[in-house]
Structure 1
Amino acid sequence: MANRREIEREVLGAIAELSACRPSTGELFRELHTLLAGPLGFDGGCWHGTDPVTGFPTSTVADGLDPGRFEQAVHLEMFGEDTTNFTAIRAAGHRVQTLDRATDGRPGTSVRYQELLRPCGYGDELRINFDLGGGRWASAALMRGHRRGRYGPAELRLAERIIAPIGAALRNAHLVTLRRARSDRSVQAGHPPAVAILDAQGRFRSADAGARELIRRMAEPISRACAVPTGFLTVACRAARDTGTSEVRVCTPDGRWFTLYASPLDGGDGRDGEVAVVISPASPLHRLPVAILAHGLSPRERQLALHAVRGSSTKDITTLLHLTVPTVQQHVTAILDKTGVRNRRELVALLTADHLPTLALPPRT
Structure 2
Amino acid sequence: MGSRGGRGAAAQQAIEGLRELAGAGLEAAEVFRTADQLLRDVLEFDAVCWHTADPATGLVNSVFSDDLSLSAFQDAVRLEVWADDVATFPKIRHSGVRAEALSRVTQGRPERSVRYREQIAPAGFGDELRAVFDAHGGMWGCAAFMRSPDRGPYLGRQRELADAAARHLGHALRACHLPGGGAVAGTSAGVAAAGPAGWADPSDTGPAVLVFGAGNRLLGVSGPAEDLLARLADPSRTGLGVPVAFAMAAEQARRAAHGLPASQTRVRVQARDGRWYVLHASPLRGSAVGEVTVVAVPAGPAETMPLYLSAYGLTAREQEVALLLVRGCDTRDVSRLLAMKPYTVQDHLKSVFAKAGVASRRELIARIMLGGAG
TM-score (norm 1): 0.90
1:20-41 per-position Cα deviation (integer Å, ceiling 9, x unaligned): 4311012211232233221111
Q: 1:261: which partner in 2?
A: 280
Q: 1:139: which partner in 2?
A: 142
Q: 1:5: which partner in 2?
A: 8
For the Cα contact (< 8 Å) 1:30–1:61, is it kept in 2? no
Pairing 1:205-224 to 2, within 5 Å after superposition: 205-208=219-222, 210-220=224-234, 222-224=236-238
Q: CA RMSD in A?
A: 2.3
- The structural deviation recorded for 1:87 is 0.7
Q: 1:227: which partner in 2?
A: 241
Could you tell which deviates more after superposition, 16-25 or 36-45? 16-25
Output the CA distance in 1 between the equivalents of 2:292 and 2:65: 26
Runs of 5+ in structure 2 lacking a partner?
185-191
Q: 1:38: which partner in 2?
A: 41
Output the CA distance in 2 between the equivalents of 1:227 and 1:221: 13
Output the CA distance in 2 between the equivalents of 1:152 and 1:186: 46
Output the CA distance in 2 between the equivalents of 1:321 and 1:103: 45
Check 1:308–1:172 CA distance in 2 against 1; reply closer, same or farther (3 A cut): same
For the Cα contact (< 8 Å) 1:204–1:226, is it kept in 2? no
Output the CA distance in 1 between the equivalents of 2:344 and 2:152: 53
Check 1:350–1:25 CA distance in 2 against 1; reply closer, same or farther (3 A cut): same
For the residue of structure 1 that corresponds to 2:25, the secondary structure is coil
Q: 2:359: which partner in 1?
A: 342
Q: 1:149: which partner in 2?
A: 152
- The structural deviation recorded for 1:119 is 0.8
Q: 1:361: which partner in 2?
A: none
For the Cα contact (< 8 Å) 2:134–2:166, is it kept in 1? yes
1:248 matches 2:267: yes
Q: Structure 2: which amino acid aligns with 1:255?
A: G
For the residue of structure 2 that corresponds to 1:201, the secondary structure is helix
TM-score (norm 2): 0.88
For the residue of structure 2 that corresponds to 1:48, the secondary structure is strand
1:146-182 per-position Cα deviation (integer Å, ceiling 9, x unaligned): 1111000121121122123222211111113596331
Output the CA distance in 2 between the equivalents of 1:90 and 1:242: 21
Check 1:287–1:159 CA distance in 2 against 1; reply closer, same or farther (3 A cut): same
Output the CA distance in 1 between the equivalents of 2:141 and 2:155: 23
Check 1:319–1:81 CA distance in 2 against 1; reply closer, same or farther (3 A cut): same
For the residue of structure 1 that corresponds to 2:219, the secondary structure is strand
Pairing 1:1-365 to 2, within 5 Å after superposition: 3-175=6-178, 176=181, 180-183=193-196, 187-208=201-222, 210-220=224-234, 222-243=236-257, 246-266=265-285, 272-351=289-368, 353-358=369-374
Check 1:267–1:37 CA distance in 2 against 1; reply closer, same or farther (3 A cut): farther
Output the CA distance in 2 between the equivalents of 1:155 and 1:18: 20
For the Cα contact (< 8 Å) 1:128–1:140, is it kept in 2? yes
1:275-306 per-position Cα deviation (integer Å, ceiling 9, x unaligned): 11111221122111111100101222122122
- The structural deviation recorded for 1:90 is 1.6
1:2-24 per-position Cα deviation (integer Å, ceiling 9, x unaligned): 62321122212333455443110
Identity across matched positions, percent: 38
Could you tell which deviates more after superposition, 337-346 or 293-302? 337-346
**Alignment coverage as a number of residue pairs:** 355
Runs of 5+ in structure 1 lacking a partner?
359-365
